[in-house]
Structure 1
Amino acid sequence: MEADPLSIEVLFHIGPVPIARQVVTTWVIMAAMAIFLRIFLRAPKRDAGPVQAALEIVVMAIVTQLREVLDRDPWPYVPLLGSLFLFLGIANLSAILPGVKTPTGHIETPAALALIVFFSVHFYGLKVRGIGPYLRHYAQPTPFLLPLNILSEITRTFSLMIRLFGNMMSHEFIIAVLMLLAGLLLPIPFLLLGVLIGLIQAYIFTILASVYIAAGIGAAEA
């Protein structure tokens, strides 16, 4: 167990840049996802096999949820939000593998993901609404709320980061303490609970990202 959950375990350096363990884990997860999807979805078949069928079920479940939140055609947003959910689900569950620590249990990864959501909200908002209407919506319903509307953009991004980091870090901390006190057998139920927690946190993060994007593009106006 690390003494400080905010500490960085540096594995190696690329020139002057330190590369931490959670960064390497993130790279491995992304590479594994890319290779897996490339192999099984490179040439989709009409008669889907078990892997393709399972992926189609996951994708359609994501599409259904996004359609309800965005209140418009969800497919333009599936690449971002679907990838976000799949990455978070795998990253949160990676801790069940021996010797692997979930990258979402360290502040850098949740911060990076929250920033991706932050910039995506503005990207889609500007793309769908246009520059003028998008900027004007910060002054609604009254220009006096402009500072508060801008501040809310920052605070909700911060809360998105802290929510994911806090839940995953605290779960890792509890497991580490139990293993020190009770050995290897007692934490097993908590590891199983961690699977559920990891999937729930991936779902919550993705849904909140969808809600923020829906607000940015003005889903109610669609």
Structure 2
Amino acid sequence: MELTPDSNIVFTIGGFGINKTAFNTWLIMALLTVTSMLVTRNLRPDVPPNRWRTALEVIVKGIEGQIAEITRRPDRRLLHFSGTLFLFIVTSNLLLVVPGFDPPTASLSTTAALALSVLVAVPLFGIASRGLGGYLHSYLEPSAIMLPFNIVSEASRGISLAIRLYGNIMSGAVIAAILLGVAPFFFPVVMDMLGLLTGVIQAYIFAILATVYISSATATPTDRTEAKGKDQT
């Protein structure tokens, strides 16, 4: 049993082997892109929405609502970033039920890349929102002595995101493989259902944590004061 699809080479281009993780990642990106193009090709006010467009609008509105509850202010850029993370991860995890498909999120390289994208997005969003000086000053809050601790905390976020997502997806795959050898007709169905549920939950948690980290980086002292006042109310 393979613990990661990275070692499985699908084909070779110019002497470079394309493993199953990279191939399935491109496959999911192509699937999401083509689906979005097909659903939104007639996105006009004079065209009544069909079931697919309605489903897509429900998903987008749901993501937008979750972001609004966290940030307490509209930010379309955050919707694009966190929404893309959620759709990629949840699609990857749900395709686990397809025979022979190894989700890219079962590879530590993919989860590390996703976590790295969040680590890069946090300062970019923070600088765009508060300016370079305002963002760098946040590392000195509440006092300058906290600088090394804030830096370590920032780095540990990415590591925890990667390990959490990888560990949950891989543990489900390993348990399913073990139970498959014990009772091949019953347990796989149960584990597939649990795998789907876990996959959706993990995608949600990852996107929410990314939103929380970015929201914290973009929040100004005034925003924090207002948020505390609302919480106390």
Same fold, judged at TM 0.5 (above): yes
Write the distance in 2 (CA, Å) between the matches of 1:108 and 1:57. 31
For 2:171, the aligned partner's letter is: S
> Any gaps of 5 or more consecutive residues in structure 1?
none
CA displacement at 1:219 relative to structure 2: 6.0
Q: Secondary structure at the match of 1:12?
A: strand
Of residues 19-28 and 176-185 in structure 1, the stretch that sits farther from structure 2 once superposed is: 176-185
CA displacement at 1:220 relative to structure 2: 6.1
- In the other structure, the counterpart of 1:54 is 55
> Any gaps of 5 or more consecutive residues in structure 2?
224-233
User: How far does the alpha carbon of each residue in 1:163-192 deviate from its partner, in whole angstroms, 9 at most, with x for none?
Assistant: 000000000000111112221432101111
8 Å CA contact 2:130, 2:220 repeated in 1: no
Residue pairs, 1:25-174, within 5 angstroms: 25-46=24-45, 47-174=48-175
8 Å CA contact 1:72, 1:219 repeated in 2: no
Spell out structure 1 runs of 4+ moving beyond 6 A: none
For 2:201, the aligned partner's letter is: I
For 1:40, the aligned partner's letter is: V
CA displacement at 1:44 relative to structure 2: 1.2
Write the distance in 1 (CA, Å) between the matches of 2:222 and 2:13. 48
What TM-score, normalized to structure 1?
Answer: 0.95
Write the distance in 1 (CA, Å) between the matches of 2:39 and 2:208. 26
Identical aligned pairs, as a percentage?
38
User: How far does the alpha carbon of each residue in 1:38-97 deviate from its partner, in whole angstroms, 9 at most, with x for none?
Assistant: 111133144211000010001000000000111211322111111111111100111100
- In the other structure, the counterpart of 2:13 is 14
Q: Are 1:182 and 2:183 matched, yes or no? A: yes
Q: Secondary structure at the match of 1:11?
A: strand
Write the distance in 1 (CA, Å) between the matches of 2:147 and 2:16. 39
Aligned length: 221
Q: Are 1:208 and 2:206 matched, yes or no? A: no
- In the other structure, the counterpart of 2:231 is none
Write the distance in 1 (CA, Å) between the matches of 2:221 and 2:107. 36
User: How far does the alpha carbon of each residue in 1:134-174 deviate from its partner, in whole angstroms, 9 at most, with x for none?
Assistant: 11110111111100100111111100000000000000000
For 2:21, the aligned partner's letter is: Q
CA displacement at 1:15 relative to structure 2: 2.9
What TM-score, normalized to structure 2?
Answer: 0.90
User: How far does the alpha carbon of each residue in 1:108-150 deviate from its partner, in whole angstroms, 9 at most, with x for none?
Assistant: 1101100111101111011001011111110111111100100
